[in-house]
Amino acid sequence: MAKTKNTNKANENQEGEPKKYKKALVVGAGAFGTSVATVLAQNFESVVLKVRSKDVYDAILKGENSVYLPGLPIPENLYPALDWEEGDAHGQEDYQLIVSGLPTAGITQFYEENYVRFTRYFEDGVPLVSLSKGIDPDTLEMADDLFYELFNKYRELFTFLSGPSFAKEIMMEQITLATLAGRDRDVIVQVTQMLEAPFFKCLGSYDVKGVLLGGALKNVIAIAGGIIEGLGYNHNTRAAMITRAIAEMLRFGRVFSARSETFYGLSGMGDLILTTTGGLSRNKTFGLEIAKGRSPEEIIQGQRTVVEGYKTAKAAYHLAEKYKIRARIFQGVYKVLYEGANAKEVIEQMMRVPSKFEID
């Protein structure tokens, strides 16, 4: 089954001009992967969205990803593919860009299974954008570590996108800015141009670790934000928590030689504010459910979307233990999620800690 396309329209951008690029591949049809695919559809004649689940595939064929983003139309030059043969059939040109929308936990297995295929792409100089925002709780590795271990010869081709960007609002073409970090200036510039749309723009950075840490750690704080809101705390408490969370995130950053200004930018403060205050955050919603007394396991089993902050809370706790990082908010979230601690009591205990100078 295939969608019926208006070929002339699919080959033009919003201004009716010919599109600059031929073909892109997006791996992972979750909410964020789908939203970035729609951005690419502005500039590419065809965008192949590699799908794992049949229901998502069928939904996209009908014009929307109703599983993750109901009611929002999919561009007509975005094609779902359950297998590689189907994806390769859309256009004769090779892929010019790869976007990995897999959660951190899924990176190694997928790219090991498809190692030969992706090595061929990288040998041809095709860049990859990773959307993963997490830290492996067992190895304490981030997306860059995982990709570099698998494809060490091609490190310069990898970029990492993070920033304040709800998938639903991207689909609605709300103006969105994000950070794109990488090792090679030419690759960063090339990818930012491929991702640029009238409503979407990336700012380049060389601080890969800082961008990845900001994107991962803010998910834990978003859970904390949901918990405090669910417990009835209001704006004063939220503002205090966000401000102190940035201070703790900076301490993690120093361990990885990340730049402090990265945490005050889009992938740090920007993303943190969005996910702790916005109503579309999966991690904040998870925290709200925790505040109702539900267990993490119960919440996770009852939904399909990945809550990266849950596993990252465990990773952050172990990082803090390993490197002696003072991170009371992160430790508090861990105690609530993994030790069954009462959230209100954890907050009260934190308030009893002797005061220090704000800058220390």
Q: Do 226 and 199 share a domain, yes or no? A: no
Q: Specify if 306 maps to a domain.
A: yes
pLDDT band at 352 (very low <50, low <70, confident <90, very high): confident
Read off the CATH number of the domain in which 109 is found: 3.40.50.720
Q: With respect to residue 268, please indicate whether it lies within any of the assigned structural domains.
A: yes
For the question of whether the overall pTM of this predicted structure is more than 0.85, the answer is yes
Q: For position 282, which CATH number holds?
A: 1.10.1040.10
Shared domain for 238 and 289, answered yes or no, is yes
Question: Domain check: are 216 and 203 in the same one?
Answer: no
Identify the band that residue 322 occupies on the pLDDT scale cut at 50, 70 and 90. Answer: very high
**Do 203 and 220 lie in a common domain?**
no
In a domain, 1, yes or no: no
Read off φ and ψ for residue 150, nearest 5 degrees.
-80, -40
User: Where in the sequence numbering do the catalytic residues fall?
Assistant: 218
Over residues 117-167, the pLDDT tens digits come to 999 999 999 999 999 999 999 999 999 999 999 999 999 999 999 999 999
pLDDT of residue 308: 93
Give domain status of residue 56, yes or no.
yes
pLDDT, tens digit, for every residue of 298-317?
Answer: 999 888 888 999 999 999 99
Residue 273 domain flag: yes
On whether residue 165 sits in a domain, the answer given is yes
Q: Which domain holds residue 184?
A: 7-208
Domain count, the chain: 2
Determine, yes or no, domain membership for 342: yes
Domain end position, chosen among 208, 229, 254: 208
Any domain includes 356: no
Taking only the tens place, the pLDDT of each residue in 46-64 is 999 999 999 999 999 999 9
- Taking the C-alpha atoms of residue 330 and residue 221, their distance in angstroms, rounded to an integer, is 7
**Separation between Cα atoms, residue 23 and residue 1, nearest integer Å:** 20
Does one domain contain both 17 and 106? yes
Separation of alpha carbons 165 and 175, rounded Å: 9
61 and 175 in a common domain: yes
- Domain match, 47 and 194 both: yes
What six digits make up the tokens of 354?
Answer: 């002797």
Contacts of residues 90-95 at CB distance under 8 Å and 24 or more positions apart, as own/partner, are 90/23, 90/46, 90/48, 91/22, 91/23, 91/45, 91/46, 93/22, 93/23, 94/23, 94/121, 94/124, 94/126, 95/23, 95/24, 95/25, 95/48, 95/121, 95/126
Longest alpha-carbon distance in the chain: 67
Question: Is residue 203 domain-shared with residue 250, that is, in the same domain?
Answer: no
219 and 314, same domain (yes or no) = yes
φ/ψ region of 206 (left if φ > 0, alpha if ψ in -120 to 50, else beta) reads alpha
> Which residues have a Cβ under 8 Å from the Cβ of 353 and sit 6 or more positions away?
328
CA distances from 58 to 45, 63, 264, 299 (A): 21, 9, 41, 26
The CA-to-CA distance between both ends of the chain, in Å, stands at: 62
**161 & 281 share domain:** no
Domain end (from 208, 229, 261)? 208
Q: Final residue of a domain: which of 155, 187, 208?
A: 208
Res. 91 pLDDT band, cuts 50 70 90? low
Q: Are residues 190 and 319 in the same domain?
A: no
**Angle 328-338/208-230 helices, nearest 10 degrees?**
60
What pLDDT score does 158 carry? 98
Q: Among positive and negative, which fits the CA dihedral 160, 161, 162, 163?
A: positive
Q: Are residues 147 and 222 in the same domain?
A: no
Q: What is the pLDDT of residue 304?
A: 84
